[in-house]
Structure 1
């Protein structure tokens, strides 16, 4: 869990993902379209990926990916991020975290 927290605080937006996950791909694309350059951690390409995946599940992320952190705070999975996008609060969160300037 400490490793997750340390990684999540390294950049304004951090996404734990799997390279083969279509929802992870969609969420990454959403952030890119907002002009965000997130830190991406591909769990299936990381030697400690399984350990991190279990920590994300303990944190409450189900399914485990994508798991999104904004400003070092756990936001949630794809459903949570898409809800924020639809209700208009994602952009404000990204501004507050310093991920975008507009």
Structure 2
């Protein structure tokens, strides 16, 4: 869990993904479309990936990937991010942590 939290707090927006996950790709594109370049960590390419996936689940993410952190805090997976975006709450959240370009 330490590695996940360390990586999640290094940048304003951090997404833990798997290289073959289409939902991970969609969330990544959403952030890029609104002007945010997230740090993306593909956990399936990390030797500690399985442990990272377990840690993300223990933190409360409904699906292990994509796991989105904003300002070092877990926002959630695809459903949570899309809900925030559709309700108009995502951009203000990003602005609070100064991640919006």
The alignment's TM-score, normalised by the length of structure 2, stands at: 0.96
Deviation at 1:62, TM superposition (A): 2.4
Q: Name stretches of at least 5 consecutive residues in structure 1 with no aligned partner.
A: none
Unaligned runs of 5+ in 2: none
Q: Which residue of 2 aligns with 1:21?
A: 21
Q: Is residue 45 of structure 1 aligned with residue 45 of structure 2?
A: yes
How far apart in 1 are the matches of 2:8 and 2:23?
19
Task: Name the CA distance, whole Å, in 2 between partners of 1:81 and 1:62.
Answer: 12
Q: Which residue of 2 aligns with 1:8?
A: 8
- Aligned-pair CA distance for 1:2: 1.3
State the 1:53 CA deviation.
Answer: 0.3
Between the two proteins, the alignment pairs up a number of residues equal to: 101
List, as ranges, runs of 4+ consecutive aligned residues in structure 1 with deviation greater than 4 Å.
none
Q: What is the aligned partner in structure 2 of residue 79 from structure 1?
A: 79
Corresponding residue SS for 1:40: strand
Cα distance between partner residues in 2 of 1:3 and 1:45? 15
Aligned to 2:60: 60
Give the SS at the match of 1:15: strand
| Structure 1 counterpart SS, 2:30 | helix
**Distance apart, 1:85 and its partner CA:** 0.3
